[in-house]
Chain A
Amino acid sequence: MIIDAHVRIGPGRSAALDVAGLTATMDRLGVDRALVAPGEYATAWDNRAGNDLTTTAAAASGGRLVAYAVANPWAGADAVAELARARDLGARALSVDPALQGFDLLDGLVDPLLAFAQESGWLVYVRTGTPPHAVPLPLASLARRWPELSFVMGRSGATDFWIDAAPALRHAPNLYGDTCYAPWDTVLSEFARDPEIGAGRLVFSTDAPYTAPEAELARITGWPIPDDDRVAVLGGTLARLLG
């Protein structure tokens, strides 16, 4: 069972993916399921159209696609209402992007959305990287405030905040690392051999359309780790988090 923890569909800058392109890639690579998030335009601005796109795709997929919902935290109660609408349409996880949506992980804006995710039993994906309000350690502190939620640290701080990803994973046991872009022979092996982290805290994603998905999968299938660990990384852990 291979589950892709994060792709984006719909319009974005410099890259875009449609459902037909995604499912063709999944067929070619043997990916069983994928969690689909709205693209950049919908994440930043047109949340409703993005949630319609992901939930429609999921509903038509026979369970193969799982919809993330988005809502800009600045919309306050309207954001929560949009998430509720998306849940009614079948969304099963929350995706937030502090850089695209313009908030600080610890400023409180996102907390009503997290409360909704907790009430709904949703997984939460948070996009991280080098923007100062999207680096790994504040996400770990946020995760500690919400111990009943599971957070995926999207991109694991790629690239120069990979250094911070390990202390973030140690700080918050409900935080999971994302494998995309990360070489196994430098970054991922450090996570896997750390007794406070381990391969069971990593989830595979292709992060399409920003990547060459076959290269993302090959990096995990070529990683010399025990089979049980690979099963966990490629989908076992995520399946458990999705419930």
Chain B
Amino acid sequence: MIDFHTHTPAWNTVSWLGGATFGADEFVEFMDATGIDRAVVLSHDGLFNPTPQANDELAAFVRKHPDRLTGFGTVTPRDPNAVAETERMFGELGLKGMKLHPWLQGFSLHEPALDPICEVVQGAGGVLLSHDGTPPYSTPSQLAALARRHPRLPVVLGHGGLHDLWREALAMIQETPNLYLCICGTPPYAARTILAEAPPHKVLFGTDAGLSDKASQDYAVARVREIDGWGITPEQRHAMLVENPARLLDAA
């Protein structure tokens, strides 16, 4: 099973989320206890301060278990060094994707500054994953528009439209060939409908682990357990948890 949406602890940021501190070994213990073989790990500090330091610390975290943890870095798109930092992420740091959070990081997905960054991600064979599901700056249609500008770049809706935009998210992955959807915080009835109606190779799953007050990541454990109550087929479950994420990550 591959968890396509997890976070490191926040080492340098105080936010509205409390959040426990944990090491990479502890995180892998949580994964073992939950049946997660591999995880895409995103910076937590980088949500708020997308700095090279955040990428360095993320890279150091995933480097401790390179067979289990895959890091996606982040940048401030308008920063003059953003393209160079993107190149460093995929080169020196060995990261495999880019994570964007438009409403926390404060930009629109339509800004031209994103284009050379996306070209670097695509050239490196990486994946772009963005927060979605939250108006005004993180809607699935906005992310689909970015995906249309970069049709060979795999782009992932990080939250499957959440509660109020999941139908839009489903429609966008149906009409946009290079757009994928990670069910993460998406309600169960929406997950069931998405899996029934989406192109079967396009749906992923994530727990958002890493933000918990407990190193044991209790809500993430509950989210994995909750899949049993979604009412999906074994084939849908296997595609979402194993085949689809492996295909995207192994190409990266």
List A residues at the B interface (Cβ < 8 Å).
14-15, 99, 129-132, 155, 158-160, 163, 181, 183-186, 189-190, 209-215, 218-219, 222
For B228, give the chain A residue with the smallest CB separation: A212
Cβ–Cβ contact A214 & B133, under 8 A? no
Q: A130-B135, A160-B134, A215-B225 are in contact. Are A186 and B211 (CB under 8 A)?
A: yes
Chain B interface main SS type: loop
Query: A160–B218 Cα gap in the complex (Å)?
Result: 19
Within the complex, which residue of A15, A158, A183 is in contact with B163, where a contact is CB–CB below 8 Å?
Answer: A158
Cβ–Cβ contact B188 & A211, under 8 A? yes
Within the complex, which residue of A131, A186, A212, A219 is in contact with B188, where a contact is CB–CB below 8 Å?
Answer: A212
Query: A190–B218 Cα gap in the complex (Å)?
Result: 15
The count of chain B contact residues (Cβ–Cβ below 8 Å) is 33
Q: A183-B222, A186-B219 are in contact. Are A209 and B135 (CB under 8 A)?
A: no
Answer whether residue B213 sits at the interface, using C-beta atoms and an 8 A cutoff: yes
5 additional contacts (CB under 8 A) given A130-B163, A158-B162, A190-B16: A130-B134, A130-B164, A159-B133, A185-B213, A212-B228
Q: A129-B163, A129-B164, A190-B18 are in contact. Are A15 and B134 (CB under 8 A)?
A: no
Cβ–Cβ contact A210 & B189, under 8 A? yes
List B residues at the A interface (Cβ < 8 Å).
16-19, 103, 133-135, 159, 162-165, 185, 187-190, 192-193, 211-214, 217-219, 222, 225-226, 228-230
Query: A190–B17 Cα gap in the complex (Å)?
Result: 8
Least CB distance from B166 to A in Å reads 9
For B227, give the chain A residue with the smallest CB separation: A212
Cβ–Cβ contact B187 & A163, under 8 A? no
Q: A210-B188, A211-B189, A218-B222 are in contact. Are A186 and B162 (CB under 8 A)?
A: no
For A223, give the chain B residue with the smallest CB separation: B218
Query: A190–B185 Cα gap in the complex (Å)?
Result: 18
Can you report 24 A-B residue pairs in the complex whose CB atoms are below 8 A from each other? A14-B189, A15-B189, A99-B164, A132-B135, A158-B163, A160-B162, A163-B16, A181-B163, A183-B219, A184-B218, A184-B219, A185-B213, A185-B214, A185-B219, A186-B211, A186-B213, A189-B213, A190-B16, A190-B18, A212-B188, A215-B222, A219-B219, A219-B222, A222-B218
| Residue with the greatest number of chain B CB neighbours at <10 A, chosen from A158, A159, A222 | A159
Cβ–Cβ contact B187 & A211, under 8 A? yes
Q: Which of chain A's residues have a CB closer than 8 A to the CB of B226? A: 212, 215
Cβ–Cβ contact B230 & A212, under 8 A? yes
| Residue with the greatest number of chain A CB neighbours at <10 A, chosen from B162, B189, B213 | B189
Query: A130–B133 Cα gap in the complex (Å)?
Result: 9
| Residue with the greatest number of chain A CB neighbours at <10 A, chosen from B18, B135, B163, B218 | B163
Query: A163–B103 Cα gap in the complex (Å)?
Result: 13
Cβ–Cβ contact B189 & A209, under 8 A? yes
The 8 closest A-B pairs by CB, nearest first: A212-B229, A183-B219, A15-B189, A215-B226, A185-B212, A160-B134, A210-B189, A14-B193
For B211, give the chain A residue with the smallest CB separation: A186
Cβ–Cβ contact B162 & A130, under 8 A? yes
Cβ–Cβ contact A183 & B134, under 8 A? no
